[in-house]
Amino acid sequence: MKDQGNGEWGQRAGSMVHVLHGLKIRIGATLSLLVGGFVGIILYLAFWAGRFTWYQDVAVVLSVILIVPLSVILLWISWGLGMRRRMTDWFDSVDRFD
């Protein structure tokens, strides 16, 4: 194996570091969205739900329950599509060395 710091091997190693950085960010964002949504529902029900009727409370809770997972799904779809592109480029570059 060639030196990881030079040439195409170094570029591929740098690309994988970039992928892992993006993965860390998305894991953190996913956890933040899930915890934030849960805490938001709890705070809403504890402090603000009394001002509205029960069906308005249900609408607020359902909207949070729908928006948070949709945000997480969009976050991971964007990462998956980018990963597909990166891995295709990476496998194409590996074929050149065979």
pLDDT in the model for residue 2:
47
Are residues 18 and 85 in contact, defined by beta-carbon separation less than 8 angstroms?
A: no
Q: Kindly report, residue by residue over 20-78, the tens digit of the pLDDT.
A: 888 999 999 999 999 999 999 999 999 999 999 999 999 999 999 999 999 999 999 99
pLDDT in the model for residue 88:
77
Amino acid residing at 78: S
Of 16, 18, 8, the C-alpha closest to 96 is 8
Domain residue limits, the chain: 7-95
